[in-house]
Amino acid sequence: MRADSPGHSAKYGSYTLMHLDSNRIIDLQLVQSNEVGGSYHMEKEGIKRCLDLLDSNGLVVDYIVTDRHPQIQKYLRERSITHFYDVWHFEKGSMVLYKVEKILVNKRVVKDVEKLSHHYQTSSLEAFHSLILRFTPKNVVFPFKGMLCR
């Protein structure tokens, strides 16, 4: 999810769904934080809207690659969609070499290793978001329609 501002107090978040085989954006949903009770809940609402749109058009999602956001993990599990983790997000936040042992013996990490995506990563989607930032900087505030257009 791409937020309209850095940090954890975003007003808007856009959730982008990309078909990784073709590198094509298949949906983009704009979520306002006050619709969902705060910015922490925007990511789940964004993926929910994307998947609901695909469902309504008769498309079945076999699996999806995302970061390890706990709400997304639970939501995809409840929808019986296979969930893989992007390797970059799996490693992000760990201290190199110094904490490797601690990470490797962590029960949650050991359990999540099998969920790492064998084939796909979200780097193409991150490149798309990086391109968008050139034209829509986060330090410029827009109303809802402005966010939708940008």
Which pTM value belongs to this model? 0.63
Mean pLDDT throughout 60-69? 90
* Per-residue pLDDT tens over the stretch 28-50: 999 998 899 888 889 999 999 99
pLDDT for residue 51 is more than 80: yes
* Per-residue pLDDT tens over the stretch 74-117: 999 999 999 998 876 655 555 555 566 677 777 877 778 777 77
Q: What ranges do the domains of the chain cover?
A: 2-149
95: left (phi over 0), alpha (psi -120 to 50) or beta: beta
Kindly give the pairing relationship between strand 82-85 and strand 63-66: parallel
Type of residue found at 119: H
What pLDDT is stored for residue 90 in this prediction?
Answer: 58
